[in-house]
Structure 1
Amino acid sequence: MLMFFVTCPKGLEYLLADELQSFGFEPVRNAPAGVWVQGTLEAGYRACLWSRLANRVILHLAEVSAISGDELYEGVRAIAWENHLPVDGRFKVAFVGQNDAIRNTQYGAQRVKDGVVDNLRTDSGERPSIDTVAPDLIVSARLHRGLLQVGIDLSGESLHKRGYRTEKGVAPLKENLAAALLLRSGWPELSAAGGGFVDPMCGSGTLAIEAALMAMDHAPGLLRAQFGFTHWLGHQAELWDRLVGEAKARAEQGRSVNTQPMVGFDQDAAVVATGLRNVERAGLKGVVRLECRALGAFARDAQWPDTGLVLTNPPYGERLSERNALSGLYQSLGEAVKQALPGWRLGVFTGAPEVGHAIGLRSYKQYKLFNGKLPAQLLLFEISKDNETIARERTATGELFPKISHPERAEMLRNRLRKNRKAMGQWVRKQGIECYRLYDADMPEFALAIDVYGERLHVQEYAPPKSVDARLARERLAEALAVIPDALEIDPSLMVCKQRQRQTGINQYEKQAATSEFFTVHEHGCALKVNLKDYLDTGLFLDHRPVRHWIQQHADGKRFLNLFCYTGAATVHAAVGGAVSSLSLDMSNTYVNWARDNLELNRVPASQHVVKKADCLDWLAAKPNAGDLYDLIFMDPPTFSNSAKMDGVLDIQRDHALLISQAMARLAPDGLLIFSNNFRRFKLANSVEAQYRVDEVSKDTIDKDFLRNARIHRCWHIRHGR
């Protein structure tokens, strides 16, 4: 099994991970703009040949220390380059990243080059040479902090360059982004059902060409003449030839059975001419039809089927005056497809999603992506003669939206949600997080907590007091569930609603459902498994995000202990932050297994980072082994627990002083205990402050999304001595 890092445009990591599994890879972890996987060389070749989403397939060779330029050089020189490049070969270095010692990529590339050359240099002075135009080998060097990931780029040129597009229209989509839009729009399923494809503003035809290649099972790599492994010493030519032969046979079969129309229109004749040449270079003449036709002349051809996909990338408008003019264009698009193609699906990829309402349809799903560096969204619509009825049928339960009794009140909630989302957007992107609290009982009429988990929503209704009429509470909840999907432009099936009541003892571990619908989210570079349906909590306490991030930033080289560890999120952050070892304890089998899964998801070695089932009260009460100390301890006990799995009853106000004392007995002399709890009326015992150095850091552990609920938890840093 070999290790690979496969890169892609930002925002396509999840799609790419699924695609790579279909080639025979085993997932390791997602990273920003890429995916780490394990697999055979055959899987790597399949990715080069078949991936519609990847940019580069990098065969990982080694990870070397890069604390200094000299260490980097020595680490690169120690790699067995004789297995990859002949002495008289030509290579180039693709270097990205920087740190305190290596402040620019040119210097970093030079040190890598020196390491490779000096490794292969013969006694007679023969050595490989640098060739940035047509190298035999591309050495990939990716620097992150003090480590350099070194690999062989098997791709050569970026895989998005299929070979059919040598000319460019106005603001063309990259081919792999076009493929991602097709996948997100459900084109493979629609195509398999005999649906057609239309792009009414096709430009140079990229979407239509990618749609045809996908429908015909045509490997995009078949159109390329060169790959990065062609002159690599490890290249297995017979294996590659076999895979190419298999791909050609599939393409011939796909072309013979494909009869669905794939059409593109554009009002710019010059751009359409470029598109027609692209179609011919892609070998799709007679399959993809491009015509010069304005949007106002859009009409249905008689041979088009009853279902299909309309997918387009209309102009965004770079200036405000241009954006104001987009409403008319989007309105014309909506009117044209509604009239001509009822029963079809519409996808609009736009950098101006705020103009999407002008289309006159309700978007049932939105995907946030990037067109280059420009944030954009893919908006999906079902085209129907009665679209309003269809939209109203899309609820989390499959029932009709209730009639809104108080439209003014519902409109206030809608406006508040949109305002909150806009206010949080830039902060969320800068933080590098996917999960955050969007709304927390901001309006007394709607006592809800609404949390975003990637593309999903977790809605919790705070149990109403007895003074509130139950019928009125149900009415307000129904109004909220009707408004939330529309206000936040999400498919209601991606929204989960629960009632939040105080849970104690055994109840806090009981399942609420049994869907097993786990999915992965990301927080500060860590991958975490969550489940919105099966348990009272999701597997990730959002309010503790700053605490986890602090642990990640201060765990390097430390021994970490996580008491009452829940799903082990804090341990993941510690391990990713460089903790040399960790022990995580919880009494629940469910959460112990969940924590292990989270660590495995981040490639954390189980031999160094151990998760055990244990009653923390018993474990702390036992005498520690000599020398069994930890540099960093995190303890976030429940407020109260009388679980049958525990020998005693835990009351955090009554018992915290003893717990802290016992935890401090496990703490190294210069170590730190982070103690936290969410009991609103909690008061730290005077005995704790008398015995240890105590700093309350609660204010520093509340992020922007919890400022309205700033006492959701309290947190202290506790050290030995006074």
Structure 2
Amino acid sequence: MSQPLSYFATCPKGLESLLLEEIRSMGATKVKETVAGVHFEGPLTVAYRACLWSRLANRVLMPVSTADCYNADELYAAVKAIDWGQHLAVDGTFAIDFSGKLRDINHSHFGALKAKDAIADDFMQKHERRPNVDTDKPDVRVNVRVAKGKVVISIDLSGESLHRRGYRLSGGSAPLKENLAAAILLRADWPGIAAQGGALLDPMCGSGTLLIEGALMMANIAPGLFRQHWGFDGWLGHDANGWLQLVDEAEAMELQAKNRQWPEIRGYDASPKALESAQENIDRAGLNGKVRVLRKELSKFVKPTHSDIARGLVVTNPPYGERLGDESSLIHLYRHLGQRLKSEFAGWKASVFTGNPDLGKQMGIRSIKQYQMFNGAIPSKLLNFDISEASFVHDSSRQVGAPIARKTLDDLGDGARMFANRLRKNKKNLSKWLKNKEISCYRLYDADMPEYAVAVDYYEGWVHVAEYAAPAKVDPAAAEQRLNDVIAAIPVALEVDSKYVVLKQRNRQKGSSQYRKQEESGELFEVKEGQAKLLVNLKDYLDTGLFLDHRPVRLKIAELAKGNRFLNLFSYTSTASVHAALGGATFTDSVDLSSTYLEWSKKNMALNGLSETQHRMIRADVLEWLKTCDNQYDLILLDPPTFSNSKKMEATLDIQRDHVGIIQDAMKLLSADGVLIFSNNQRKFSLDSEALAEFTIENKTDWSLDKDFQRSKKIHQCWFIRHGA
């Protein structure tokens, strides 16, 4: 059969123009693009070539009849009018794929049943017997499509969808279809980059689909070589010799490709399960040694150290909200991805395929091109980037120290001027230490002058002011005036705009409440501590999400964590867990009863490119959880509140009363050579050393107070506790 025939190749929406060029390159004629597919003509070998070589198509259909059709009877007649003996043996099998609606057909199953009856009746009339139905692997799959008063009846030459190459038996939680992965790579100009010797990297590779498709594309290996079954295998019009010739040519090209020099094609993922699937898929595709996958968090994603890799493409499909479980955490994952690209991959190209297109703005890089695509039913976009300084978007929403306040010291009253001078003096005294230690968030003032009973903390351009409770003898009007002096002085002394000063003021009218909740801003911003990026909220809560006084403890945890198992009890926003993870902990567990803080913790992890696979958030009553946990840890942080009577807890917590039992329970989880860091901010707390005499206890309180907190020695206490007296 060499005469021109008509065909229709289907594809996902958004890939039509790519498919048109692909089909045309195979020698097809009269190629025409339409919604979700391409019409073309040519000899049977062109259709075979499309089946074997198309990286984009879902199916290759060969229409055998087109007829008017408005109801079930006309559908039956149109199907029965075809001489099915030319296509299907009487002892063969067939299946029907039906799509569309008619006046009396509203269900695809009923439409398929009507078409099946027509074929069966045709055989019964001519042969007094009929082929059987096999919906799994039929000899002939018949595609029946009804639309706009017409029915098109086709032989499906591909069989099952062409995106099922045959190398992937399993995927991740939201696997990317192979033909969509191929389209992403084509839109990203991977063939052009590969031709110049560029590398292909995927920092969140999942089951490895982008890497495998990239390798097959680069090496010009036919994606259909892995399939064992085709829709034309049992079709009576099949040209077996013509097909085998095409397969022989493709296999010869594959052999040549595998003997050539390959570029670096490498993927990373935090999930061992995903990497196991990826390696299995790579092996089935015959690409072992050509495509490599390694377990690595996004936080460790860097350019390969090979001296000959000067350029390349970073391509990835980050988790969707439903995959990660919390879409808000994705904001920080995308932010971290952008930071990785900017710091490590200057001069490279990057492509990010996302079902959350607005999150692309969080990367801080302007895309040079965007493509609308669909991942199944999910509207998605491909964002292409040139990683260069010219494309970086700098966040101007928060600039340290700018604009400078217009007022000067001379504009302030006596009290405000005195307070401003104290702030300037404190800042000068701390400046050299802050610079040497690279500290950007610190306490600047802590009730140094008793009449100004506030704590002033500096957070990279923002100033957080917390009012202490005034003694009963202090006139409320005088206290209010002094607080006004503080607020007036800060913008002048620290040269910040007043909009960057946040006050947490005591509610004098309602003594039962400690602080008014300022607002529901949900406003988190990023600060740096050591190698960690952490999120703080200065407006919505009593605390900011980062206890500055515990800075030395967190940095010590980062130092001790490498190769160790870390447990964070009463983990709050899990800042210590982030430090442990970045310090090289094998895994971290963070336990807290507050869902708000655990969600915040997830954001902190995502911001640092750390996955929940390796760093778990556990919502539980710590007191109860300790009694049932049977894990072992090498490093434990126990930093409980002074008191808690949450309705979610089984019992109240009083740290003075309960600390011995909590420490003993925690020590049961500590490995023989491990260390438990115990801390609390109960100012009158006294550790019961006698009750804990079985352990070695080292008081580290003085060490744990940095220079900015040494004016108040009672802000917290800290001990290192080990096994053995």
| TM-score for both structures, normalised by structure 2 | 0.52
| 1:64–1:76 contact (8 Å) kept in structure 2 | no
| 2:364–2:392 contact (8 Å) kept in structure 1 | no
Alignment of 1:528-539 (within 5 A): none
Shift of 1:124: 5.8
Larger radius of gyration, structure 1 or 2? 2
Query: Does residue 176 of the first structure (1) align with residue 146 of the second (2)?
Result: no
Matched residue type, 1:158: S
Give 2:330's aligned residue.
Answer: 326
State how far apart, in whole Å, the 1-side matches of 2:222 and 2:323 are.
39
Give 2:88's aligned residue.
Answer: 85
State how far apart, in whole Å, the 2-side matches of 1:328 and 1:149 are.
49
State how far apart, in whole Å, the 1-side matches of 2:362 and 2:392 are.
15
Give 1:109's aligned residue.
Answer: 112
Task: Give the SS at the match of 2:151.
Answer: strand
| 2:202–2:211 contact (8 Å) kept in structure 1 | yes
| 1:16–1:53 contact (8 Å) kept in structure 2 | yes
Evaluate the alpha carbon distance shift between residue 88 and residue 366 of structure 1 in structure 2; reply closer, same or farther with a 3 A threshold.
Answer: same
Deviation larger for 230-239 or 59-68: 59-68
Query: Does residue 340 of the first structure (1) align with residue 352 of the second (2)?
Result: no
- Of the three residues 355, 359, 379, the one matched with 1:355 is 359
Give 2:97's aligned residue.
Answer: 94
Query: Does residue 36 of the first structure (1) align with residue 4 of the second (2)?
Result: no
| 1:300–1:340 contact (8 Å) kept in structure 2 | yes
State how far apart, in whole Å, the 2-side matches of 1:189 and 1:15 are.
15
Q: Deviations over 1:538-587 (max 9, x none)?
A: xxxxxxxxxxxxxxxxxxxxxxxxxxxxxxxxxxxxxxxxxxxxxxxxxx
- Of the three residues 384, 390, 412, the one matched with 2:388 is 384
Give 2:712's aligned residue.
Answer: none
- Of the three residues 310, 316, 322, the one matched with 1:312 is 316
Query: Does residue 221 of the first structure (1) align with residue 227 of the second (2)?
Result: no
Query: Does residue 186 of the first structure (1) align with residue 189 of the second (2)?
Result: yes
Matched residue type, 1:361: I
Give 2:79's aligned residue.
Answer: 76
State how far apart, in whole Å, the 2-side matches of 1:25 and 1:227 are.
20
- Of the three residues 368, 371, 375, the one matched with 2:375 is 371
Q: Deviations over 1:599-653 (max 9, x none)?
A: xxxxxxxxxxxxxxxxxxxxxxxxxxxxxxxxxxxxxxxxxxxxxxxxxxxxxxx
Query: Does residue 212 of the first structure (1) align with residue 215 of the second (2)?
Result: yes
Shift of 1:218: 0.5
| 1:98–1:145 contact (8 Å) kept in structure 2 | no
State how far apart, in whole Å, the 1-side matches of 2:204 and 2:341 are.
12
Matched residue type, 1:44: A
Task: Give the SS at the match of 1:300.
Answer: coil
State how far apart, in whole Å, the 1-side matches of 2:359 and 2:341 are.
17
| 1:17–1:27 contact (8 Å) kept in structure 2 | no
Query: Does residue 133 of the first structure (1) align with residue 136 of the second (2)?
Result: yes
Query: Does residue 294 of the first structure (1) align with residue 293 of the second (2)?
Result: no
Shift of 1:123: 5.6
Shift of 1:145: 2.7
| TM-score for both structures, normalised by structure 1 | 0.53
| 2:282–2:291 contact (8 Å) kept in structure 1 | yes
State how far apart, in whole Å, the 2-side matches of 1:349 and 1:106 are.
35
Shift of 1:234: 0.4
Shift of 1:103: 2.2
Evaluate the alpha carbon distance shift between residue 24 and residue 319 of structure 1 in structure 2; reply closer, same or farther with a 3 A threshold.
Answer: closer
Shift of 1:108: 1.5
Give 1:235's aligned residue.
Answer: 238
Structure 1 vs Structure 2 CA RMSD: 1.9
Alignment of 1:634-649 (within 5 A): none
| 1:99–1:145 contact (8 Å) kept in structure 2 | no
Evaluate the alpha carbon distance shift between residue 104 and residue 386 of structure 1 in structure 2; reply closer, same or farther with a 3 A threshold.
Answer: closer
State how far apart, in whole Å, the 2-side matches of 1:242 and 1:125 are.
38
Matched residue type, 2:206: G
Q: Which stretches in structure 2 are left out of the alignment for 5+ residues? A: 394-725
Task: Give the SS at the match of 2:14.
Answer: coil
Give 2:465's aligned residue.
Answer: none
State how far apart, in whole Å, the 2-side matches of 1:323 and 1:197 are.
27
Alignment of 1:623-662 (within 5 A): none
State how far apart, in whole Å, the 2-side matches of 1:167 and 1:123 are.
45
State how far apart, in whole Å, the 2-side matches of 1:100 and 1:31 are.
25
Query: Does residue 63 of the first structure (1) align with residue 66 of the second (2)?
Result: yes
Evaluate the alpha carbon distance shift between residue 209 and residue 147 of structure 1 in structure 2; reply closer, same or farther with a 3 A threshold.
Answer: same
State how far apart, in whole Å, the 2-side matches of 1:320 and 1:228 are.
38
Matched residue type, 1:236: D
| 2:24–2:31 contact (8 Å) kept in structure 1 | no
Deviation larger for 259-268 or 299-308: 299-308
| 1:215–1:258 contact (8 Å) kept in structure 2 | no
Matched residue type, 1:135: P
State how far apart, in whole Å, the 1-side matches of 2:127 and 2:342 are.
75
Matched residue type, 1:68: N
Give 1:121's aligned residue.
Answer: 124
State how far apart, in whole Å, the 2-side matches of 1:27 and 1:372 are.
29
| 1:178–1:207 contact (8 Å) kept in structure 2 | yes
Shift of 1:133: 2.1
Give 2:247's aligned residue.
Answer: 244
Task: Give the SS at the match of 1:63.
Answer: strand
Deviation larger for 5-14 or 105-114: 105-114
Task: Give the SS at the match of 2:63.
Answer: strand
Q: Deviations over 1:487-544 (max 9, x none)?
A: xxxxxxxxxxxxxxxxxxxxxxxxxxxxxxxxxxxxxxxxxxxxxxxxxxxxxxxxxx
State how far apart, in whole Å, the 2-side matches of 1:190 and 1:27 are.
31
Shift of 1:254: 1.9
State how far apart, in whole Å, the 1-side matches of 2:12 and 2:261 are.
30
Give 2:461's aligned residue.
Answer: none
Task: Give the SS at the match of 1:305.
Answer: coil
Give 1:491's aligned residue.
Answer: none
| 1:87–1:121 contact (8 Å) kept in structure 2 | no
Give 1:26's aligned residue.
Answer: 29
Q: Deviations over 1:229-266 (max 9, x none)?
A: 01110000100000001111111222222320000000
Residue identity over aligned pairs, in percent, reads: 47
| 1:345–1:383 contact (8 Å) kept in structure 2 | yes
Matched residue type, 1:184: R
| 2:96–2:143 contact (8 Å) kept in structure 1 | yes
Q: How many residues align?
A: 390
Shift of 1:122: 5.1
State how far apart, in whole Å, the 2-side matches of 1:123 and 1:215 are.
51
Shift of 1:386: 4.3
| 1:121–1:128 contact (8 Å) kept in structure 2 | no
Give 1:681's aligned residue.
Answer: none
Shift of 1:308: 1.1
State how far apart, in whole Å, the 1-side matches of 2:44 and 2:107 are.
33
Shift of 1:156: 0.8
Alignment of 1:390-409 (within 5 A): none
Shift of 1:120: 2.4
State how far apart, in whole Å, the 2-side matches of 1:123 and 1:235 are.
22
Matched residue type, 1:186: D
Give 2:261's aligned residue.
Answer: 258
Query: Does residue 144 of the first structure (1) align with residue 147 of the second (2)?
Result: yes
Give 1:3's aligned residue.
Answer: 6
| 1:266–1:292 contact (8 Å) kept in structure 2 | yes
Matched residue type, 1:85: L
State how far apart, in whole Å, the 2-side matches of 1:45 and 1:272 are.
34
